[in-house]
């Protein structure tokens, strides 16, 4: 997957996050840091899920109408719901981000630790966009195998989250795509082995 490193101005605009798991919470933090108004749509919210005046919680099954007025939508729910979100985003021409499948979205959303308000974008490290482009390249290689061999959604999501943490990103910066891909494949092998052992 080829990407064009860019920054999106989302301050004051509506961003919709579908889902209330760890990936959704990370997306909400990143969007709040960038000054967005955030609408989170989920049937249930876990205890301790982010609470802020800038966060509108919608406790409901996802519907296309939840995207009304959105500049960006983050699909961070189950595969079935994400598929509907993608279709609706395309139909309504809303920019789409999919944290655990970046190649199927329009933008790659950074983890919250790397996000910053637009007024601070000039202070970000010059390699920030480059490292996420490399991360997307790694994900595009391992995702098909993960989807095929790790049917458990929680295990698969935990695997993708591990590839977006600071330690893994630091490894990409230090060593490049090849070694990072090798580490990702080794981690995936471990996840598969643990899954098989639990059967």
CATH of the domain at 100: 3.40.50.720
User: Cβ(176)–Cβ(122) under 8 Å?
Assistant: no
Examine residue 9 and state whether it is found in any structural domain, yes or no: no
Residues 182 and 142 both lie in one domain: yes
Residues 80 and 24 both lie in one domain: yes
Which regions of the chain are under pLDDT 50?
Answer: 112-129
- Give residue 65's pLDDT: 95
- Give residue 181's pLDDT: 92
The whole-angstrom separation of Cα 122 and Cα 42 is 35
- Give residue 158's pLDDT: 82
Structurally, the chain folds into a number of domains equal to 2
Which of 123, 139, 163 terminates a domain? The answer is 123
Residues 57 and 119 both lie in one domain: yes
Examine residue 177 and state whether it is found in any structural domain, yes or no: yes
Q: What is the tens place of the pLDDT at every residue in 12-51?
A: 899 999 998 888 888 888 888 788 899 999 998 887 677 6
* DSSP string for residues in the chain: ----------TTSEEEEE--SHHHHHHHHHHHHTT-EEEEEES---TT----TTEEEEES---GGGGTT-SEEEE-S-HHHHHHHHHHHHHHT-EEE-TT-GGGSSBPPPPGGG---GGGGGGS-TTHHHHHHHHHHHHHHHHHHHHHH---HHHHHHHHHHTTSHHHHHHHHHH-HHHHHHHHHHHHHHHHHHHHHH-
Which of 65, 97, 123 terminates a domain? The answer is 123
Whole domain around residue 43: which residue ranges? 14-123
- Give residue 128's pLDDT: 45
Q: What is the CA radius of gyration of the chain?
A: 17
Examine residue 2 and state whether it is found in any structural domain, yes or no: no
């Amino acid at each position: 997957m080829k990407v064009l490193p860019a920054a999106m101005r989302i301050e004051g605009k509506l961003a919709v996050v579908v889902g209330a798991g760890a990936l959704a919470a990370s997306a909400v933090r990143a969007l709040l840091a960038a000054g967005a108004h955030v609408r989170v749509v989920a049937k249930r919210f876990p205890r301790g899920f982010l609470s802020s005046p800038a966060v509108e919680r919608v406790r409901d099954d996802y519907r296309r109408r939840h995207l009304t007025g959105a500049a960006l939508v983050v699909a961070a729910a189950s595969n079935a719901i994400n598929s509907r979100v993608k279709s609706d985003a395309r139909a309504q021409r809303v920019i789409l981000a999919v944290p655990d499948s970046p190649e199927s979205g329009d933008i790659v959303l950074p983890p919250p630790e790397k996000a910053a308000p637009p007024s601070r974008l000039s202070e970000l490290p010059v390699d920030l966009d480059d490292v996420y482009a490399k991360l997307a390249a790694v994900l595009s290689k391992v995702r098909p195998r993960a989807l095929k061999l790790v049917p458990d959604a929680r295990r698969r999501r935990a695997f993708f989250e591990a590839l977006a943490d600071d330690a893994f990103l630091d490894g990409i910066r230090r060593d490049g795509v090849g070694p990072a891909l090798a580490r990702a494949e080794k981690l995936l092998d471990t996840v598969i082995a643990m899954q098989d052992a639990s059967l």
